[in-house]
Amino acid sequence: MESRFYRACVSVMLVGLMLVSVGAWAQGTAIISGKIKDANGTLPGASIMVKGTEAGAITDLNGDFRIIGLEAGKITLQISFIGYETEEFTAVAKANERVVLETIELSESITELKEVVIKGSFIPSQIRAYSIQKEASNIQNVIAADAIGKLPDRNAAEAVQRIPGVSIERDQGEGRFALVRGTPSQWNANLVNGDRLPSTDGFSGTRQTALDVIPSELIEYAIVSKALTPDMEGDAIGGSINFLTRRAPESRLLNVSLAGGYNDQIQNGNYNGSVIYGDRIGEKFGFLLSAAVWNRPWASDNYEMEYNFDLPGDQGFSVNQQELRDYEGVRNTVGLNLSAQYDINENNNIYVRGLYDVFSDYEFAREHIFTFPEGPDEDPNEGDASLRARTAGFLTTLYGGEIGGEHNINSKLSLDWKASTYSADVTFGNNIGTIPQDQSGIQLVQFAQGGAFTNVSNDNFMYWNFDSPNGVGGGNAGDPFQPNFEGSLTPQAMVNSLAGVFRGESNEADLVGQFNLKYEANEKLKFKFGGKYRNKRREAINQTNFYIPLALFGAPTPLTFYSDQEVEPYDVKGGFLQELGQPYDNLLLAETITPAAIDVLTQDVFDNLELYFPFTSAPNELSGYNGVENVIAAYAMGEYEFSNELSMLAGLRYEQTSVSIEGFEQDTSGTLNAINETSTYGALLPAVHFKYTPVNNLNVRLAYTRSFARPNFSDLNPNRVVSDIGGGITQISGGNPDLNPTFSNNFDLLGEYYFKDVGIISAGVFYKSLTDLIFNNLSQETIDGQLVRLSEPRNLKSASLLGFELAFSKRFTFLPGALGGLGVDANYTYTTSEVEVPTFNPATLEESTSIQTLIGQPKNIFNFVLFYEKYGLTARLAANFKGAYIDEYRIEAGPEHYRYYDQNLTIDFSASYAIKSNIRVFVEVNNLTNEPLRYYHGVTERPEQTEFYSIRGQAGVRFTLK
């Protein structure tokens, strides 16, 4: 049914394009082109109409426009732009010639905006963003560089969280992954200058890009397209986030920003700075260089809970382990961007762009771990307490570049092309200390001490009080979970129980070639055709080398005690988990192991391996793979203006994907066998967009698009482990090379009205019909007479997502005096989804299904910004809210044991003041309310993770020279 539906849509669009093509003719031979700018730079999205005709054009991102098919003679151009009065300019069109006008400069003419524009607020940048959004053929949201800079958003993820329908996932309090309209981050395309970024999620092997590697200072525009056009990458179910890096200016530009700050959790300072310099050499060559650095010490307090959800009945709510974690670290982000363009002549130019971003994170963690007894088969109340210490280095490098050209072949036909390459290198555990390269990584040592817990229930499990069969447990709902460890933790009683390193590496590199041909039949009808080829190579390997002392198994070898190690006072930085009343102070060792001691102990392990037993769950080869993916894409689309009020864009895109992945398979004897799996699939992606403008500044948009999401490399990984789990059952765990991509039919309706004094009110609904969702399945089957338990990714049949979004931005310029500087910027998105998720109970072998929401889909997202802009002062108080959502299905346990992300509300503040027109001082403060990160187990009363980051902020100065 579904395939017939979208084939019918394809047929309708093709017939429509053919019909409008029949009526295409050229009405003249003259061409007028030029550039529109104001005092702050070029103006993208400006509308230019030839008075008395229906001929016109919209300026591109460089402020350029071209109008074809004009009759020779004197003409009047009417130029309109958000926040400006319509202005008229005269020109003379010449037969069989292209007339290039001198740059047309507009000036602010709306009285109530003159002051704030002149004194350097971010209005000029916001005007440009709204203009691009207003004139676009598809549904999109745009934010520009200055708007990003007016909020304390230091990376690309934090910048886009202010856009309607966009939420983010955080790591140590900083934005990391972006989610659009409640869909998983790997369902969205993250692009730079139109090219999809390689994945930087090296550890889990997904296709998502960690956007914390890109400093916000390198971004000129961030464009979130929620309804794709055929000339865009098709693998974006939620949306496409395109980061446009800064480009060569029309005249000399110098921006310098310097700032220093303080993080209250680590009680230490930080600094950041950026430089942006661009200029033109002669009339033909322009360039821009930008660089940013951000160094910040950080810390967090965390406690985590693990539950025995694989046990049947109420015992599935018992607590297996509690971890108290204290993190300290230093993060450093460095970003460089280069852009240069050479105008060969008025019809041809070539450009080069380069990007180099490095994100490094060194951390030191101390973790107190309490492992509780599990049932009557264990000694009553027996458990153990451990201290685990580790040092880790995380390094992400994103780099690449592109070379391309734009060419007007004749009055109707133009060509643009580009060749590019982008790579992402991710390392978990770079060289730390004195350990050799082949033994370097995340260094970990653990010391354990046995003991009893006095608040274990009568079935010898540990519970929350409300889950305990006799009401005895670790605490009441809303209180911190509090184990009662009999006696005290002492360095003399704690013996080394584990030591070693973990190292993970991945590289993903793309080579891309593409071209686009544009044909303007007349002022009403335009065609665009193009093709793209991408070769992606991905390599990943994880190396685990952990060891347990043989002395713990009774061997006559020496034990290593905690008291023998180098220790230092426990650095609580104002109190460990002080937000909870510091309930664990009596359980923390007053002195703790140092990073130097970890280095010494792990080196001692590698020097004396005969004293240790290797502890790994599987050979290292089973965690790695090599993959090659080739994508060939082609598209055709047309845009037709039925009238000045109504236009249509329609077309098709086809993407052919071939994947080959090499890995290993382990059989029941432990033998490793190399395997290679290949798959090929196609994606036919129709799209049709209608745009209706009944009155100036009002758009009504309707769209149908089809998009998809490729399986993650980790899901396609052919590595398989075959093991005997007892009871005559063989378990097979691994990836699934036969997975289908997830497809979505998308329907959108949106209305938007742009205020004359720079603002917007919009409302829209959207619906997605999804097939072949990918989830981690657990099942039991009989294969060739053998009972087999399978743990692998599989495709679900179907799902749906429905939502609506509202946005409102308005300056209250109608208020008297100083109050006229107030304004509000707010948006709200509601989403709901349905997917039928299977459940398999390994104990009873029962299978069932339940209706759930999609993973990563919050029902409610909102942003609210109260701002003030007048007399050179800009201030913004911003709230960002994301509702709760399912983070993980647990097929073997059922919905009551799913992992949820709890709702989160962060409040930030920023302010700046113009000392002079080109010098501003500023202050930024993040997380004013010290909002924690929380995950919970089924219900909020059972936390799985709670993490606090405290407040951080900075103050500085910005200098601009134009």
Between residues 95 and 308, which one has the greater pLDDT?
Answer: 308
Amino acid at 420: S
Q: What pLDDT is stored for residue 433 in this prediction?
A: 44
Tokens 């009568």 — which residue? 458
DSSP class of 757:
T
Is residue 219's pLDDT more than 90?
no
Among 467-476, 723-732, 835-844, the minimum mean pLDDT is found in 723-732
Contact between 94 and 30 under an 8 Å Cβ cutoff? The reply is yes
Is residue 522's pLDDT more than 60?
yes
Is residue 114's pLDDT more than 70?
no
Q: What pLDDT is stored for residue 123 in this prediction?
A: 74
Q: Average pLDDT of 237-245?
A: 92
| Strands 899-901 vs 904-916: parallel, antiparallel or unpaired | unpaired
Backbone angles phi, psi at 216, to 5 degrees: -65, -25
Is residue 98's pLDDT more than 60?
yes
Tokens 């913004």 — which residue? 876
Contact between 168 and 156 under an 8 Å Cβ cutoff? The reply is no
Interacting residues of 448 by C-beta distance below 8 A, sequence separation 6+:
384, 385, 386, 494, 495, 497
Number of CB atoms found within 10 A of residue 857's CB: 23
What are the pLDDT digits (tens) for 65-85? 888 878 888 888 888 888 777
Q: Average pLDDT of 88-101?
A: 82
Amino acid at 159: A
Written as one string, the DSSP assignment of 668-694 is TT--EEEEEEEEEEEEEEEEEEEEE-S
Distance CA(240)–CA(160), nearest Å, equals 12
Amino acid at 298: W
Distance CA(634)–CA(231), nearest Å, equals 8
Which pLDDT band, with edges at 50, 70 and 90, does 438 fall under? low
Contact between 892 and 840 under an 8 Å Cβ cutoff? The reply is yes
Could you tell me what percent of the chain has a pLDDT over 70? 92
Q: What pLDDT is stored for residue 8 in this prediction?
A: 46
Could you tell me what percent of the chain has a pLDDT over 90? 49
Q: What pLDDT is stored for residue 941 in this prediction?
A: 96
Which pLDDT band, with edges at 50, 70 and 90, does 547 fall under? very high
Which pLDDT band, with edges at 50, 70 and 90, does 960 fall under? confident
Which helix or strand (DSSP H or E) is residue 84 part of? none
What six digits make up the tokens of 297? 């010490």
Distance CA(483)–CA(465), nearest Å, equals 12
- Residue 228, CB-side half-sphere exposure with 13 Å CA sphere: 28
What six digits make up the tokens of 809? 């931005």
What are the pLDDT digits (tens) for 681-735? 999 999 999 999 999 899 999 999 999 999 998 888 888 888 777 767 778 888 8
- Among 699, 768, 881, residue whose Cα is nearest residue 181: 768
Contact between 931 and 220 under an 8 Å Cβ cutoff? The reply is no
What six digits make up the tokens of 17? 């394009």
Which pLDDT band, with edges at 50, 70 and 90, does 121 fall under? low
Distance CA(331)–CA(360), nearest Å, equals 6
Distance CA(558)–CA(689), nearest Å, equals 74
DSSP class of 894:
-
Which pLDDT band, with edges at 50, 70 and 90, does 25 fall under? very low
Which helix or strand (DSSP H or E) is residue 350 part of? strand 348-371
Which pLDDT band, with edges at 50, 70 and 90, does 92 fall under? confident
- Residue 829, CB-side half-sphere exposure with 13 Å CA sphere: 27
- Among 773, 758, 890, residue whose Cα is nearest residue 824: 758
Per DSSP, the three-state class of 435 is coil
Is residue 668's pLDDT more than 80?
no
Amino acid at 822: L
- Among 330, 309, 333, residue whose Cα is nearest residue 319: 309
Strand partners, 720: 665, 734
Q: What pLDDT is stored for residue 877 in this prediction?
A: 93
Contact between 385 and 451 under an 8 Å Cβ cutoff? The reply is yes
Between residues 381 and 746, which one has the greater pLDDT?
Answer: 746
Tokens 């603002």 — which residue? 759
Q: What pLDDT is stored for residue 17 in this prediction?
A: 45
SS3 helix, strand, coil % of the chain, rounded to 5? 10, 55, 30
Tokens 């304004």 — which residue? 823
Q: CA torsion 210→630→349→90, rounded to 10°?
A: -80
Q: CA torsion 340→345→348→350, rounded to 10°?
A: -20
Q: Average pLDDT, whole number, for the chain?
A: 87
Between residues 293 and 38, which one has the greater pLDDT?
Answer: 293
Is residue 26's pLDDT more than 50?
no
CA angle 687, 692, 696 (to 5 degrees): 140
What are the pLDDT digits (tens) for 707-716? 999 999 888 8
What are the pLDDT digits (tens) for 319-347? 999 999 999 999 999 999 999 999 999 88
Which pLDDT band, with edges at 50, 70 and 90, does 118 fall under? very low
Rounded to an integer, what is the distance from CA 286 to the centroid of its chain? 32
Which helix or strand (DSSP H or E) is residue 53 part of? none
Q: Average pLDDT of 536-544?
A: 89
The most distant pair of C-alpha atoms in the chain lies apart, rounded to whole Å, by 102
- Among 738, 744, 857, 749, residue whose Cα is nearest residue 799: 744
Q: What pLDDT is stored for residue 229 in this prediction?
A: 96
Distance CA(426)–CA(443), nearest Å, equals 17
Which pLDDT band, with edges at 50, 70 and 90, does 108 fall under? low
pTM of the shown model:
0.89
- Among 262, 357, 265, residue whose Cα is nearest residue 956: 262
Is residue 156's pLDDT more than 70?
yes
DSSP class of 60:
-
Among 153-157, 445-449, 694-698, 887-891, the minimum mean pLDDT is found in 153-157
Which pLDDT band, with edges at 50, 70 and 90, does 18 fall under? very low
Q: Average pLDDT of 259-266?
A: 93
What are the pLDDT digits (tens) for 908-945? 999 989 898 888 899 999 999 999 999 999 999 999 99
Which pLDDT band, with edges at 50, 70 and 90, does 480 fall under? very high
Is residue 176's pLDDT more than 70?
yes
- Among 357, 360, 437, residue whose Cα is nearest residue 395: 360
Which pLDDT band, with edges at 50, 70 and 90, does 21 fall under? very low
Q: What pLDDT is stored for residue 353 in this prediction?
A: 96
What six digits make up the tokens of 825? 């910027």
Q: What pLDDT is stored for residue 896 in this prediction?
A: 93
